[in-house]
Amino acid sequence: MELKIFTTFKTIVRTGSFTKAARLLSYTPSTITFHIAQLEKLTGVPLFEKSGRRMILTKAGEELIPYVDEVLAAVKKVKSFQYGVAAYQGTLTVGAPESLLCFRLPPLLKRLHGHAPRVDLRLRSLTSRDVVAALRDGQIDVGLAYTIQERDKENLAFRVFEECPVHFYTSVGAAVWCPNLREREMEINEMPLITMPHPGEIRQLADDYLRQRGISFTNMIELRSTQTIINLVENDMGIALLPDHAVRERMALGRLSAAQSDPMTVTSYYGVHRNKWRSPAMNLFLDILGEENGNQGGEELLHDEEDVDAADSR
């Protein structure tokens, strides 16, 4: 069965004439007659009858109209879906700190891929400062970061993604004898502090927390890989400040333990360059990021400095 027979029927109904329908559709009169014969064979009833020199709808033909409308509307929806999928093409480059890229974004990227399977993703693991620099220079399309500097507000637009608790974590075995980090004025020599190098928001949080309590470590392991830091902590190598979303599965499996009960929080943002053209795939990903945090219409990022200042103060 060809869909064109439904279009022919609807055109005859709309124009009121086989001849006009043939002219409008660029068919011969015999083709129009053949299409209607096919449709009558499909329905099993006559759809038109002769009245003088005109062909008019039978009762069955009148009753068929809404069904044909449904078929043609469904075809239109399918075509719109096809065109929508086809629009999501090209490359989308996303930059984010590893703790977000590795542990927070995969489910969201999966949703993006489900809607836009033809889009080539370029994922870059960067520090927050490098994310901002890459956005400013046009090297990435969408960036996620933990810090927004005042000088970046003019050219970049950000929105709060989420506020995530962070804790110091140790292995379950080390937690038995690990010092309570809520204590003050002590030097810890039983285990190293495992941390990111400067600069970095998580590192700064750790330094501030320890300095305020007068806590120091006699030795340190420093590296720029959240995943490796987690592996070292799990293998009794030390203690580290980590976002909760990065260790949620390990905690559920009973492999890690929080070394302090009073959580800190780190705020993450997602942003774009104000002057960068937004492709359909880029807008789709912004929508997904917005929906994740309850912000419908993710492409409507912060544009006023007062809005960004309010977000920074949270």
| pLDDT (average), residues 111-118 | 91
CB 195 within 8 A of CB 242: no
Please report the beta strands in the chain, taking only residues with DSSP state E, as ranges in sequence order.
Answer: 48-51, 54-57, 91-96, 120-125, 142-145, 156-171, 186-188, 193-195, 215-217, 220-222, 240-243, 256-258, 264-273
Residue type at 215? I
Domain architecture of the chain: domains with CATH? 4-87 (1.10.10.10), 92-161+268-312 (3.40.190.10), 163-265 (3.40.190.10)
Sign of CA dihedral 165, 168, 171, 177: negative
On whether the CB atoms of residues 60 and 46 are closer than 8 A, the answer is yes
Residue 79 has pLDDT above 80, yes or no: no
pLDDT above 70 coverage of the chain, percent: 87
Cβ contacts of 229 within 8 Å, gap of 6 or more: 194, 195, 196, 223, 240, 242
Q: What is the pLDDT of residue 308?
A: 39
Mean pLDDT value of segment 23-28: 83
For all residues of the chain together, what is the average pLDDT?
A: 84
* pLDDT tens digits, 180-190: 776 667 778 77
First to last CA, the chain: 62
Predicted confidence band of residue 198 (pLDDT cuts 50, 70, 90) = confident
Band of the pLDDT at 85, cuts 50, 70, 90? low
pTM: 0.66
Each residue's pLDDT tens digit, 288-299: 998 876 554 433
Contact 269, 148 (CB under 8 A): yes
The answer to whether the peptide bond before residue 199 is cis (omega within 30 degrees of 0) is: yes
Maximum average pLDDT range among 71-80, 128-137, 261-270: 128-137
Nearest-angstrom CA–CA distance, 185 and 179: 12
How many residues belong to the chain? 314
Would you report the helix, strand and coil content of the chain in percent, each value rounded to 5? 45, 20, 30
